[in-house]
Structure 1
């Protein structure tokens, strides 16, 4: 009996000890969660009302930064079309400018409103929305592809063209750029809270802004801004210095034959572009390697080999820029790779979207997780302090569904009535069909972007090119109709994914959905005016804009126009054996993607990206060497000091891009004023130099 009692007491004691251990573990876990809780850091700060998040000073700073970033995006658009994410730069510079503003005013008395992370989020949202129009507006693709300059380089008669004009460009953007915003507003809660989509870029931006507004983060941000300022100044002054040596064609450091004259003829040289060194530091290493591999494959192997077939595959009398000659292979093989990669990713993201939706709707009552996201354990199904606070405030400021639907219908009606007057080839019923399907496609793009961080706006635009172009037909201006339809579709799906991503950023920074929506609308309106004006400055300042081999060749404009021709006329415009090569590279793009997706994470990161490989096929690998140099600098820096490279690498890259990008403004003004550089620095072979010397002696 006694033994039993002892045994019972011993068991009770063990059970009590076990319960105490569980309580201690739970208490430690609770303390750890509190320690790592972002919102507990800010719990003493009152969250401003949504109207107070939208300040005049925020929009003044946004306007200034929008001009800067529009120049950067426009320059990238008109050179290679590779545009890195500038969200980090926008958040960092927004923090810097308003911090200076508030610090300066604080010296004269107490501030009526402190600078909050919500206000920082509003600036970032507004700037990215505005500069995003410089991309989705098609100034380096479909819109400029309508011009006579690009039409003359294409495979068809240039009768169907529409030259840029400031009035119709601004009008066009205003009637097509806002529909995407209204199309996804009713689904914001489903996307962010119910489906818990990750939106990696939006999440990363939110974490960055949250860190800026902590004492340690603010200290690091000041150092980052100081670094950005140094490299901004260096990049700007380097662009100014180079300008003095560009008095004629092919003059200046940008034409330095780094690897010899033979390599230079095949576009292999380092052109001393601070912009693309910076882009290389921001882009993942695999992107830079893919671009370089594409340049080696095309300009190092394929084009020299096809050039030996001159007179057999195409007429030897054709100019190098004629689309029926070697130029046709460059353009259409690049198109084949882009279409292969785009269609593969389109169906991949669509299938993942449909599978995730099916799973979500099937298990809606059990869990709100996605099959592509790690499911929480039963213990963690309860909302954390951060999630509970964020969800409460996100739901608090509702945007009425009727408002979104009424806005979409109203703008769609105005757009359907207006667009046929801008583009006579684009009939009202084409536009109506696009607007019927657009909300579904906008949802798919926003959802897919949340899963993969990959916006397929350009792919949806290409689908519109082929469908509307083929529907209109060659005799009814199908090329222009297809390009205009591309613009309508791209603007809808692009702004939809951008807004949803900003909702995610706002959710994580306790910014109201209403302030996010209003700042996105204001930023879009800014972009509809700023971007056409910036493009108009380029268009008027540089007479050779859009010409192959010029400073701003706008390669995507040629590619988009030829896609439209392909959709309308079929394959009749292709030179001999070009179609066969297009099939091969179309299949190769799909095969590479399949191999990449079927390989494990360990090996897939070494497999190149077909889309990135396609870019230098038309343009040449010179910018790929710049990007590879930027990638190499970052790689070595990470090996030496990983933490410092991660903290300051984006600031250095942003400084290089911003400085060189803003130099474009004074250089354009100098060109418009007729002020030319004083020196032409040109590089000649020894034989050419001797002939020039003899010619000059004969003149003397």
Structure 2
């Protein structure tokens, strides 16, 4: 920062800065200097950010949910770095920081940009536009959380549970002399998850779900469960309490509303299962849209006070920190600011922000072909990205980044952006819905990154990392994820299809959030939303909010998050059922666990391995499709043994059941 940027009054600013520094000593004291950004850390960071970005992209498109990868990345780093003569806890923290940034960016991308395919605006993913939007969104998420670091991670009300848990894993690894204890369950689970996906989607030995429907009188009843180890793992990771709330939404949508709407004389397909799917697609999912919309707006209402308080404290804290830094430089006493409190300089932040804003405005201008509209879009995007990065950071500190309602703030962004653009462009403008999606895409990436970054900075605060070095590696992780996300999405689109059924892809990846965003943007500009059903969903969401507020006033801690219920209504029931099974596995294992600390950690690593293995195999199976488009004589499905799965769902039930049993054994400690 320029020495003349802020006037220097006295040494009191440095004293104030020191007095505001927490008294709890980090694992590595500020006076100790250890290597952090090393060659091996940089290489492993890029590799893991790419792998985990791909895994989260698949999971989000498939299930509509993503999971945090900080702890698995930390375990992999600790295990591999023990093969070297020198390594330390700060190197391992740097690796997990960059790796988790890659997977967080993937969540922001897949929740929004596939909507452009669903709207028909793109036929394939545009590489440069997608990469630039992802990079700018991720970069804004990093930059906006830098001044928030001291404001939020030092707030005693914000525990940052995942950041603290990751720090405990790093501390335990630094204190342990064992080799490879953590990576073994991770690798075994990855192989099991990969095999299950290969058997179902590669060899076509069994169906993807055990499902069915029956007619009862004049209506229809549906039941089913997806045969996916990754979904079991998701339920295991989010625990039975949240899984049960999502499942309750599924029961409301599929077992109550669907039979009621099945009484309509309009639903007359040939078989019950087709009828059930049609009723959900044409009616019930719009109830979910209404519930998600209210849930997104309620998220903003919930965080209004913390947001205003955080902005006020940010202004005061930033002034004090920048004044202290200026004083230190002017007096040639840079040691006045401890190593563990040095953030990226303000000048660098400003330059990067201006570059990001200008880049994204060019993308917007290419879509709307009007510089004034593009400038308005860029201003709306920047404002929303800053506000929602703050919201995401606060919520990550409160409930953890995996429970961060990013989809809720993105829904609100797209709705407000669509209304703003409607006032500018008028009704029926063909560029309106894509423009709203493009604003939401950058904001979603920024919000996803905001929550994840502050979790990582909390971890760094505990172990004694240097903040500016973590922030550099967050940019590295964002860059790695942005570069590879388009090839990954293109492979998945070619193999499975995304969001829209077709003759070649009758059962595409559902892309629930992206489908929702497309419906909202299209509905604002061109109509077509069944507002009666959306209104019903809004009323149901309002009722859930009332119940949740009643629960909040009682002791016990059980809550009913409205977005979780709305997601359950909106998702296919077979997905929520599988997530519920995973949550029950964790509950049963908890009751039988012998060593609560070690076994639970191994169970979480095993669950993370199932997600990673299935996702990477799903991407691998898509490669022949891309190759066959270049060389038609190569089969696009070279592993397929049967056109129709010969074992129906039963072999899949057996396979996934055995994997679930092994997950239970790992978590309960019964196999050790």
Q: Which residue of 2 aligns with 1:300?
A: 255
Q: Which residue of 1 aligns with 2:209?
A: 255
- Distance in structure 1 (CA, Å) of the matches to 2:351 and 2:316: 31
Q: How does 1:308-319 map to 2 (within 5 A)?
A: 308-311=263-266
Q: How does 1:75-94 map to 2 (within 5 A)?
A: 75-94=58-77
* Runs of 4+ with deviation above 6 angstroms: 259-263, 314-317, 319-325, 356-364
After superposition, the Cα gap between the structure-2 partners of 1:60 and 1:234, relative to the gap in structure 1 and judged at 3 Å, is same
- Distance in structure 2 (CA, Å) of the matches to 1:618 and 1:573: 15
Q: Which residue of 2 aligns with 1:470?
A: 419
Aligned: 1:200 with 2:161:
yes
Aligned: 1:447 with 2:419:
no
Q: Which residue of 2 aligns with 1:331?
A: 285
Q: How does 1:53-92 map to 2 (within 5 A)?
A: 53-92=36-75
Aligned: 1:174 with 2:135:
yes
Q: TM-score, normalised by structure 1?
A: 0.75
Deviation at 1:261, TM superposition (A): 6.9
Structure with greater Cα Rg = 1
Aligned: 1:48 with 2:33:
yes
Aligned: 1:411 with 2:356:
yes
5+ residue gaps, structure 1: 1-36, 103-110, 152-157, 365-388, 686-700
Q: How does 1:459-498 map to 2 (within 5 A)?
A: 459-473=408-422, 474-476=427-429, 477-498=431-452
Deviation at 1:279, TM superposition (A): 1.3
- Distance in structure 1 (CA, Å) of the matches to 2:622 and 2:397: 39
Deviation at 1:491, TM superposition (A): 2.3
- Distance in structure 2 (CA, Å) of the matches to 1:134 and 1:497: 14
Aligned: 1:574 with 2:527:
no
Q: How does 1:535-550 map to 2 (within 5 A)?
A: 535-543=489-497, 546-547=500-501, 550=507
Conserved 8 A contact 2:593-2:599: yes
Q: Which residue of 2 aligns with 1:623?
A: 575
- Distance in structure 2 (CA, Å) of the matches to 1:683 and 1:262: 25
Deviation at 1:197, TM superposition (A): 4.4
Conserved 8 A contact 1:286-1:609: no
Deviation at 1:194, TM superposition (A): 7.1
Correspondent of 1:399 among 344, 347, 355: 344
Q: Which residue of 2 aligns with 1:280?
A: 235
Q: Which residue of 2 aligns with 1:556?
A: 513
SS of residue paired to 2:208: helix
Conserved 8 A contact 1:338-1:611: yes
After superposition, the Cα gap between the structure-2 partners of 1:422 and 1:126, relative to the gap in structure 1 and judged at 3 Å, is farther
Q: For residues 566-612 of structure 1, what are the alpha-carbon distances to aligned partners after superposition, in whole Å with 9 as ceiling and x for unaligned?
A: 33356x6317x425523422322322332232222x1x42x543322
After superposition, the Cα gap between the structure-2 partners of 1:567 and 1:320, relative to the gap in structure 1 and judged at 3 Å, is farther
- Distance in structure 2 (CA, Å) of the matches to 1:657 and 1:595: 35
Q: For residues 2-35 of structure 1, what are the alpha-carbon distances to aligned partners after superposition, in whole Å with 9 as ceiling and x for unaligned?
A: xxxxxxxxxxxxxxxxxxxxxxxxxxxxxxxxxx
- Please identify, of 445-454 and 89-98, the stretch whose mean Cα deviation from structure 2 is larger: 445-454
Deviation at 1:362, TM superposition (A): 11
Deviation at 1:213, TM superposition (A): 0.7
Deviation at 1:226, TM superposition (A): 1.7
Aligned: 1:230 with 2:188:
yes
Conserved 8 A contact 1:638-1:645: no
Deviation at 1:653, TM superposition (A): 0.8
SS of residue paired to 1:182: helix
Conserved 8 A contact 2:226-2:575: yes
Conserved 8 A contact 1:86-1:128: yes
Deviation at 1:405, TM superposition (A): 2.3
5+ residue gaps, structure 2: 1-23, 319-334, 627-634, 650-672
Q: Which residue of 1 aligns with 2:150?
A: 189
Conserved 8 A contact 1:340-1:589: no
SS of residue paired to 2:225: coil
Deviation at 1:38, TM superposition (A): 7.7
Deviation at 1:122, TM superposition (A): 0.7
Q: Which residue of 1 aligns with 2:460?
A: 506
- Distance in structure 2 (CA, Å) of the matches to 1:539 and 1:362: 48
Aligned: 1:130 with 2:102:
yes
Q: Which residue of 1 aligns with 2:365?
A: 420
